[in-house]
Structure 1
């Protein structure tokens, strides 16, 4: 069971080392300032729990309803997303005071919280964990644009032996159950509406690569002209890569004929046997064609992850407040990294499952309105809280987006159809 105070404190802990100026930065429309994340997650509890359910509750600031709404049209109008970085007021101290005020009022509500409101509380906590990850991804993008910015952590590179296993694990396929059951007897029964209902899907026999594609493999893709070969790319991806002049993953740059990357440790040479990170769906798909393989479907990924979820998740590299938030290769051979390390692009569009019913009320807007023009990613990353992830979890992003901790796992159909 998630603890309200623990989740909220972890969010603040992730901003340690950031200045007030850092926390105002918005480097692109897809990202948001850290200060905005702190306020928006607080707005969620105020809007969906305190205002309607705590008798006599007085809002902290009536203007916050407009300033810190994200996309809930049913709640009301909102400040334009691309202009969040222009909100110098309220200042950071006032946002921290806002969090403190709401947390104190939430303590009052939690003391007598009726059972009917527990699902809303749980969604709020999972929503906050999603924004913990976004705080990291968004500030990383912002800091990367400063040529003299240092990393956020003094942690050195993770010193661990990397096992490079280029093999595949085979699966029989057949009819498999996909999605989250209404009651599967697990300790954590929470799931978003887009993960339901559980249903059967037929998978042809397939194989998944044991490990994620590495920087070493990606460098070979670059050397072999992967970013200059239109036959490898989807038409939209090729047009965008040419327009944006992509030559390597996001945060990579070349100096004195050597590739470097920006991470939370600062700028350093690309580490060859770490998994390639910050690539779009278009790049992932192009690499898979180059490798004579394909991306897995989400049903294939979930079949593999469901086979031994406890063991696979225990091996995962997830978010903590005292790590470098940087993906590392596994220390074992065989099928690894299904949970944690990097989000894995799948070949599946983010669409409703058969029989899907969105959540009711204002929270109906949480997932269903985004089921268009986006692709599913699975598994979580080194910036994802472990409590947020399960075998059925469906993340989704547009195919051009690269600032998330996204990587590549290859798949094959065992009858050699790719």
Structure 2
């Protein structure tokens, strides 16, 4: 039972409401910090892949209004005329700058007004009600995780902007060498997914038993120094390592290295939140697409793990180290923007799974070989547009969260997904191989 689930189970409605109120305050502080910039920065589209920051800011408030105020509180819409502007399915990201969006000051005023009413609903709602949106405060977990996810999206947008001075950095523990580069996971049945994590999404459910043959998995994510071997060996110029569609994508876009990397003589540099710096060799590689990860794995004589293999390597716990909430500066993982980069390989030995696999949570989202598909017995809740409409063979699954992911929005069962060409997200990978 995680610390949060202990609150849900034992603290009673008052303790739970106090925890939710504190989490709501913390996530809003984060959102406002990432949008503490001049109006031009907020309304400009820094890439057609991303919304203007001001769209994300108003969107999280509109989402709260829809789910907490209208669905649970029964409150009349505050600004029904803007609903379509902030419906992510009505307008692609590339088109959002042309919409009559709320300006920065108006967006801040709107979300503040929504939040005040949300706290009123929280004060009055019965968290022991059988309604699944109310029970255990699920609707508040829904909006909390949603806002933290948009905060991570904002960080990706701030990175794309290449403007310095907007994103704080921090200190991280040093890395350490690995005794063995791989860990063996024995064959057997394990439970995938969850029926018990209180605020888990529908795509994480239900828990189900599956059998996996034995396999080997990298102890840690692939580092920059390891990935550079692939680059220097001509990996981006050799179609042997690439799926045909990945090779076509790399050729068409002139991809020669991870996003934000450039070469100057014998030195590789990267741009990180507007500042150029040498690529740190001991960090997990990030800003690589699924196609690049897959090509590296083939070059290395391995493959990407399936999401089931990735989850089994976590050891059947809510977090690889156990049930303790990782917190903002926990000793187990690099989460919650404690620094604006991945931690060096080996920085969190206490976060290892029972099998000895490290840095499964935090640092970089990890691409897997799996398509985003429903689990057996999947039931949609509370709306189709969160998971169901994305199922199929279009999106690849990522696991584990990144340095930018908040602790409340990640766990070993959490499933992320994206197009295999996406590189602006904070994504890396580790490799696996089957038993001989």
Q: TM-score, normalised by structure 1?
A: 0.88
CA displacement 1:333-372 (0-9 Å, x = unmatched): 6521011111111111111111212125xx2221110012
The verdict on how the C-alpha distance between 1:80 and 1:310 changes in structure 2, with shifts beyond 3 A counting, is closer
2:82 counterpart residue number? 64
- Pick the aligned partner of 1:245 from 242, 249, 254: 254
Residues 14 and 132 in structure 1, CA contact (< 8 A), matched pair in contact too: no
1:91 counterpart residue number? 103
1:150 counterpart residue number? 164
Alignment of 1:90-239 (within 5 A): 90-114=102-126, 115=129, 116=131, 117=134, 118-141=137-160, 143-144=161-162, 149-153=163-167, 155=169, 158=172, 160-164=174-178, 167-181=181-195, 183=196, 188-239=197-248
For structure 2, the residue ranges without an aligned partner over 5 or more in a row are 5-18, 350-355
Looking at structure 1, the residues matched to 202 and 170 of structure 2 have their Cα atoms a distance apart, in angstroms, of 40
Residues 153 and 265 in structure 1, CA contact (< 8 A), matched pair in contact too: no
Looking at structure 2, the residues matched to 55 and 354 of structure 1 have their Cα atoms a distance apart, in angstroms, of 34
- Pick the aligned partner of 1:369 from 384, 389, 399: 389
Which moved further from structure 2: 213-222 or 14-23?
Answer: 14-23
Alignment of 1:370-385 (within 5 A): 370-372=390-392, 373-385=394-406
2:299 counterpart residue number? 290
- Pick the aligned partner of 1:12 from 4, 25, 31: 31
Q: How far 1:376 moved relative to its partner?
A: 0.7
The verdict on how the C-alpha distance between 1:165 and 1:79 changes in structure 2, with shifts beyond 3 A counting, is same
CA displacement 1:356-410 (0-9 Å, x = unmatched): 12125xx222111001211111111101001111111111111111111111101
2:416 counterpart residue number? 395
SS at match of 1:396: strand
Looking at structure 2, the residues matched to 91 and 154 of structure 1 have their Cα atoms a distance apart, in angstroms, of 25
CA displacement 1:247-267 (0-9 Å, x = unmatched): 000111122442110113611
The verdict on how the C-alpha distance between 1:289 and 1:79 changes in structure 2, with shifts beyond 3 A counting, is closer
- Alignment RMSD (CA, Å): 2.3
1:328 aligns with 2:344: yes
Which moved further from structure 2: 364-373 or 252-261?
Answer: 252-261
Looking at structure 2, the residues matched to 45 and 164 of structure 1 have their Cα atoms a distance apart, in angstroms, of 45
The verdict on how the C-alpha distance between 1:13 and 1:162 changes in structure 2, with shifts beyond 3 A counting, is farther
Looking at structure 1, the residues matched to 72 and 20 of structure 2 have their Cα atoms a distance apart, in angstroms, of 20
The verdict on how the C-alpha distance between 1:332 and 1:194 changes in structure 2, with shifts beyond 3 A counting, is closer
Q: How far 1:130 moved relative to its partner?
A: 1.2
2:50 counterpart residue number? 31
1:337 aligns with 2:346: no
Looking at structure 1, the residues matched to 224 and 139 of structure 2 have their Cα atoms a distance apart, in angstroms, of 41
1:356 aligns with 2:378: yes
Looking at structure 2, the residues matched to 329 and 200 of structure 1 have their Cα atoms a distance apart, in angstroms, of 32
The verdict on how the C-alpha distance between 1:68 and 1:348 changes in structure 2, with shifts beyond 3 A counting, is same
Looking at structure 2, the residues matched to 211 and 80 of structure 1 have their Cα atoms a distance apart, in angstroms, of 36
Looking at structure 2, the residues matched to 243 and 53 of structure 1 have their Cα atoms a distance apart, in angstroms, of 49
Which moved further from structure 2: 41-50 or 340-349?
Answer: 41-50
Residues 11 and 38 in structure 1, CA contact (< 8 A), matched pair in contact too: no
Residues 165 and 210 in structure 1, CA contact (< 8 A), matched pair in contact too: no
Q: How far 1:197 moved relative to its partner?
A: 1.4
Residues 184 and 214 in structure 2, CA contact (< 8 A), matched pair in contact too: yes
Q: How far 1:245 moved relative to its partner?
A: 0.7
Q: TM-score, normalised by structure 2?
A: 0.84
2:428 counterpart residue number? 407
User: Which segments of structure 1 move beyond 6 Å, counting only runs of 4 or more?
Assistant: none
